[in-house]
Amino acid sequence: MKPLRHILSPVVARISDRKSITPITQLQGASKALFLSGLQREAGRPVLVITAREESAVALVDDLRFFDEQGALFFEAIVERPILSLPPWGVLPFEADSPAISTVGERMRFLYHLISGAPGIFVVPVTGLMQKLPPWEAFADAVITLSPETAIDPDHLAVRLVALGYESASLVSRVGEFSRRGGIIDIFSPAHENPLRFELFGDAVESLREFDPESQRSLQSLATAVILPVKELLPWPKHRAEPEGVKLTEDIAAGTPAPGAEFLAPFLYRMDTLFRYLPEESLLVLDEPDDLRGRSRTFWEKILSGREEEAAQGRSLPEAEDLYLDMDRIDTHLRSFPVLSLSLLSSSPDALAMDTRSSASLGVRLTRLPGTGDGDDRRPGDGAIAGLVEKLKLWREKNDIFIVCGTEESRDRIKTLFGEYGLGVETSRSGVAGPAGPRPVMALIGRISNGFSWPALGTLVIAEDEIFGAKVHRPRTQRSKASPFLSTFKELRPGDFVVHRDHGVGEYQGLTHIAVDGFETDYLTLRYEPDAKLHVPLYSLDKVQKYVGVEGSAPKVDRLGTPAWKRTRERVKKDILEMARELAAIYAVRESMERPT
């Protein structure tokens, strides 16, 4: 593979000379991520990528992380840097609902890394960019940094955590929870992959360690811990006087703001934009700007209609402009930064063409798969595989070829299958040949959106699905009427509705293997609104039961991170107590009537 810096040099020169828009064209598939990854390395500055849609942002982050994980194959050196996305709230504009704690945690982690100034790649859908944020100073004031020997007041820390959105729990297992047991304080901050355990000696932190949320066993020691807020309605001494009837400051301090209170934040302070959080030397990238602008117009209309509908119900709301940016204001901010626009096609005479092609367009798809059978004497699929192998042998004369597989099993399948047809496939860098002879064909484990060919780099990347096609999932079979109480996850099928004791009705999506520090653990994955997921460790299976309702009628899935389920439980508890009192009175009357005289 040829060095990427030779292709990037004219791009870096343009963004260094002026603050204007430089058009880049013909980046197909995951080549966009390789381009951006190399560009950030060469420019040495933070890169903010703005996409048209959230799913595009997620796919781009996956592609970027793949190239960072395989950095030694694509770059001259491995670098550690944040690659993060800023998810939207997941609630409709001005809706009387709040974002999930997990979503806010991701957003706070994004902002923290952004203001730290460390070069990285940050991805945001335009709807997320349009949403304003708490004042930069309020966010900075809300960040707590602790280290061994730091003096703390445990009572004051607990009060502050509640004001930052944390919930007290007996056992800390998810982001946004904390507990206090004597001289031990556990906190799960979104700044860390694992929850933190502080052991106190008097009023000072004696030791600071991460711990496993499943086993609760301590892990490695840390020199510093960062506690980030898990809600965006932040306490700030410089807040404005509240309008009559609004009690936001009291609710923030008590940790009890009403659902949707975040939309009232402009009543407290003047909101900042994401541009305020950006380091001055940042490079901005518009991914498919025409699509991006169309999406921003559609979302702005939704903002205005959402405010109108909620205001018609008597809610006191700030103006849309106090909480959101339209595209005209975004364009004004863009003039303060160097900007690249990435478009598949462009009519601009200044456009720099990267001349990549999609790998699918090269004809890598097997038209007859092994095992399909075609009635002749050859092994099924032989002709199709032999033809692809001949293409790969031809392409590797001028290209390094990388086949990206989702699992070890599929990687080994590729290696064995192609090996039977005379094409050696390497699975590690140690097996790659030197400069002489044919270029290597490597099978890598990872995930990319789509493959690409980049002749100027001598690189061909192919996604496994582009060869064999996307995996077909069999339709779900009819569910049996099982007992609602779970003794094992095997009683569940994907699509079953369940009730979690603490979070309400969700939809079971399957068993997920999550790796933490190299160890895989099984979790039940439950879907909640709006597109939120909760991973429940198997040791907490007793908190989950199968939903029992009217046959053929699907329940409404609860929203994760809102107090709605808590209110439902309290209402049911109250009804049960009332019913118990009525039954007790009935039994007392019956007993007095039946007592012998």
- Two tokens, residue 370: 């092994």
Q: Which of 67, 161, 18 is nearest to 457 (CA)?
A: 67
CATH number, domain containing residue 499: 2.40.10.170
410 and 527 in a common domain: no
Q: Which of 15, 6, 27, 10 is nearest to 76 (CA)?
A: 6
Q: What is the pTM of this model?
A: 0.75
The position carrying tokens 């890169």 is 47
Q: How confident is the model at residue 129 (pLDDT cuts 50, 70, 90)?
A: very high
Q: How confident is the model at residue 487 (pLDDT cuts 50, 70, 90)?
A: very low
What's the pLDDT at 16? Answer: 77
> pLDDT tens-digit profile of 435-447?
556 677 999 999 9
Phi, psi (rounded to 5 degrees) for 143: -80, 130
Q: What is the residue range of 409's domain?
A: 357-468
* 479 located within any domain: no
Percent of residues, the chain, with pLDDT higher than 90: 45
* 219 located within any domain: yes
128 and 10 in a common domain: yes
- Two tokens, residue 504: 């309400």
CATH number, domain containing residue 76: 3.40.50.11180
Of the candidate ranges 247-251, 427-431, 461-465, 533-537, the one whose mean pLDDT is the lowest: 427-431
What's the pLDDT at 378? Answer: 41
> pLDDT tens-digit profile of 413-436?
899 989 988 889 998 765 444 555
Q: How confident is the model at residue 558 (pLDDT cuts 50, 70, 90)?
A: confident
What's the pLDDT at 341? Answer: 95
23 contacts 351 by C-beta, under 8 angstroms: yes
Percent of residues, the chain, with pLDDT higher than 70: 81
Q: Which residues of 454-472 are buried (b: 16+ CB within 10 A; e: fewer)?
A: beebbbbbbbbbbbbeeee
361 and 349 in a common domain: no
* 253 located within any domain: no
Q: How many domains does the chain have?
A: 4
112 and 47 in a common domain: yes
